[in-house]
Amino acid sequence: MSLRRLLTILMETDGKPKGNCDADIVVAAMQDSYEKKFKQAVLVSSDGDYAPLVKFLMERNGILTVVSPYEAKLCSVLLKRTNVKIAQITEQRSILEEQQKEKAPDEDEPHKGLLRKE
């Protein structure tokens, strides 16, 4: 799903965030899957409301992994029951930071990495 499409789902026309848009995201992802707009998705959530979407995408080989922003014990049981690969963002952060150190630009160059600190 494109960032532009996601923002139209998550934001009101006046720029304020919408509430409770899980169903809109699920429908949009399923539409994009049927229209073959992506091969595989990565879902960033711990919310069990996405379990039906995860199951649907698993059947179509359309989900790579779920990245949970919380510890394993806080991730929804419904997501865990789908048997999708779930990675905790806290575990991934150290991996990303290590990769960033290995690819650090010269001191003269501006920092272009994922974990840029202002």
- Residue 113 forms part of a structural domain: no
Question: Long-range pairs for 4-8 at CB < 8 Å and ≥24 separation?
Answer: none
Tens digits of per-residue pLDDT, 3-57?
Answer: 677 778 888 888 888 887 888 889 999 999 999 998 888 888 888 889 999 999 9
- Residue 108 forms part of a structural domain: no
Q: What is the CATH number of the domain that holds 93?
A: 3.40.50.1010
- Residue 109 forms part of a structural domain: no
Note the helical H segments in the chain: 3-10, 22-34, 51-59, 77-80, 89-102
- Residue 112 forms part of a structural domain: no
Tens digits of per-residue pLDDT, 93-110?
Answer: 777 777 777 765 555 454
pTM of the full structure: 0.68
- Residue 81 forms part of a structural domain: yes
- Residue 50 forms part of a structural domain: yes
Tens digits of per-residue pLDDT, 53-76?
Answer: 999 999 998 888 888 888 777 788
> Nearest 5°: CA angle at 69, between 113 and 111?
10
- Residue 116 forms part of a structural domain: no
Identify which of 74, 21, 17 has the alpha carbon closest to the alpha carbon of residue 50.
21
Q: How confident is the model at residue 91 (pLDDT cuts 50, 70, 90)?
A: confident
Q: Say how many Å lie between the first and final Cα of the chain, rounded.
A: 28
- Residue 107 forms part of a structural domain: no
Structural domain including 9 reads 3-102
As for how many domains the chain has, the answer is 1
